[in-house]
Amino acid sequence: SAVISQKPSRDICQRGTSLTIQCQVDSQVTMMFWYRQQPGQSLTLIATANQGSEATYESGFVIDKFPISRPNLTFSTLTVSNMSPEDSSIYLCSVGRDEKLFFGSGTQLSVL
Partner 1 sequence: GNSVTQMEGPVTLSEEAFLTINCTYTATGYPSLFWYVQYPGEGLQLLLKATKADDKGSNKGFEATYRKETTSFHLEKGSVQVSDSAVYFCALSDLSGGSYIPTFGRGTSLIVHP
User: Which residues contact partner 1 by CB under 8 A?
Assistant: 4, 6, 33, 40-43, 45, 48, 92, 94, 96, 99-106
Nearest CA among 32, 110, 104 for reference residue 71: 32
Shortest spacing between CB 78 and partner 1, in angstroms: 14
Between 89 and 94, name the residue whose CB sits nearer to partner 1: 94
Between 81 and 103, name the residue whose CB sits nearer to partner 1: 103
**Residue 10 dihedral angles phi and psi, to the nearest 5°:** -160, 155
Shortest spacing between CB 96 and partner 1, in angstroms: 6
Question: Is residue 78 a contact partner of residue 66, using CB atoms and an 8 Å limit?
Answer: yes
Shortest spacing between CB 12 and partner 1, in angstroms: 16
Between 45 and 73, name the residue whose CB sits nearer to partner 1: 45
Report the DSSP beta bridge partners of residue 66: none
Gap between the Cα atoms of 11 and 42, Å rounded: 21
